[in-house]
Amino acid sequence: MANFTAADVKALREQTGAGMLDVKNALTEADGDTEKALEIIRLKGLKSLSKREGRQASAGLLAAKVEGSVGVLVEVNSETDFVAKNQKFIAFAAEILEAALASGAADVETLLAAPMGGSTVGEKVNEMAAVIGEKLEIRRVVRVEGDNVDLYLHQTSPDLPPQVGVFVVTDAAGASVAHDIAMHIAAYMPAYLDRDSVPAEVLDKERATLEKITLEEGKPEAIVPKIVQGRLEAFFKENCLVDQAFAKDPSQSVGKVLAAAGATVTEFVRVHVGS
């Protein structure tokens, strides 16, 4: 009988994030030697990397930070929530974030090639995947810059790391309201900053759909344009940040909140893990 206990299994699982059966098998093969078991897990994991390529990594977490006028966010994905909330995985994502900040990476390809711990981020991701036994990937990198950058990270479940992340970039005057607006964006999910930000093809498609619906309702053709314009207003209020009713005070729009502060939002980004 192998010389290890349930406590040994638990400790190695917490250290590696590997599955219980993998840990037990490794400890059995290593006759209870934790260091040997760790190496067994790593080597077996490396051999099976190609088998995991087709699997989905839709769980995971967001790691983000603001340094001066720059904000950087990385989405690091795993296959299961069990791995996503493992402290080793969380710490690993934090290291990837630091590599993104240090390298100036603004896309996944650049980040994977960035230096980290004596090798590259991409190599470290493969090494961690080998130990954990799940497919891991970096899905996206977000980098923003401006006079004032505010970050809001939201946990959709108390036992999971952040799953929603928002950056709001404003002018200097926006510092007083930026965080409230970031929280608003997390909840209300605007697609565009303002009406001018809506792509022409999106607006044309929406207008054509509204015209068709209005005509099918039997409205006289002469008043269809007016009705369509009214319905487009509803589209803007739902999808454009400055037109949305402000979460903390629905009696006024986000645009009015910004105007009262003499502030301007120049950019925002909202990210949800796996989407």
What pLDDT does residue 2 have?
A: 61
What pLDDT does residue 8 have?
A: 84
Q: What is the CATH number of domain 55-145?
A: 3.30.479.20
Higher pLDDT, 225 or 52: 225
Residue 45 has pLDDT above 70, yes or no: no
Q: At a CB cut-off of 8 Å and minimum separation 6, what does 243 contact?
A: 194, 195, 236, 237, 253, 254, 255
- C-alpha distances (whole Å) from 233 to each of 237, 240, 255, 259 are 6, 10, 15, 20
Residue 234 burial class via C-beta count within 10 angstroms: exposed 0-12, middle 13-18, buried 19 and up = exposed
Band of residue 47 on the pLDDT scale cut at 50, 70, 90: very low
Residue 31 C-beta-side C-alpha neighbours within 13 Å? 0
Residue 31 has pLDDT above 60, yes or no: yes
Strand partners, 246: 249
What pLDDT does residue 35 have?
A: 84
d(CA 217, CA 54): 48
d(CA 75, CA 73): 7
Helix or strand holding residue 36 (H, E):
helix 34-47
Reported as a single tens digit per residue, the pLDDT across 187-234 is: 999 999 999 999 999 999 999 999 999 998 888 889 999 999 999 999
Higher pLDDT, 1 or 65: 65
CATH topology assigned to domain 6-47: Helicase, Ruva Protein; domain 3 (1.10.8)
Stretch 264-271: mean pLDDT: 98
Residue 269 has pLDDT above 80, yes or no: yes
- C-alpha distances (whole Å) from 122 to each of 129, 134, 217 are 11, 15, 56
For residue 271, the SS3 value is strand
Band of residue 54 on the pLDDT scale cut at 50, 70, 90: low
- 6-47 against 55-145: fold identical: no
d(CA 179, CA 240): 18
The per-residue DSSP string of 113-140 comes to: TSEETTEEHHHHHHHHHHHHTS--EEEE
Q: In the chain, where are the structural domains located?
A: 6-47, 55-145
Mean of per-residue pLDDT scores for the chain: 91
What pLDDT does residue 67 have?
A: 97
Residue 46 has pLDDT above 60, yes or no: no
The per-residue DSSP string of 190-247 comes to: -SBSSGGGS-HHHHHHHHHHHHHHHHHTT--GGGHHHHHHHHHHHHHHHHBGGGSEET
Q: Which single residue is written with the structure tokens 């990270």?
A: 153
Q: At a CB cut-off of 8 Å and minimum separation 6, what does 78 contact?
A: 57, 59, 60, 84, 89, 132, 134, 135, 136
DSSP letter assigned to residue 55: S
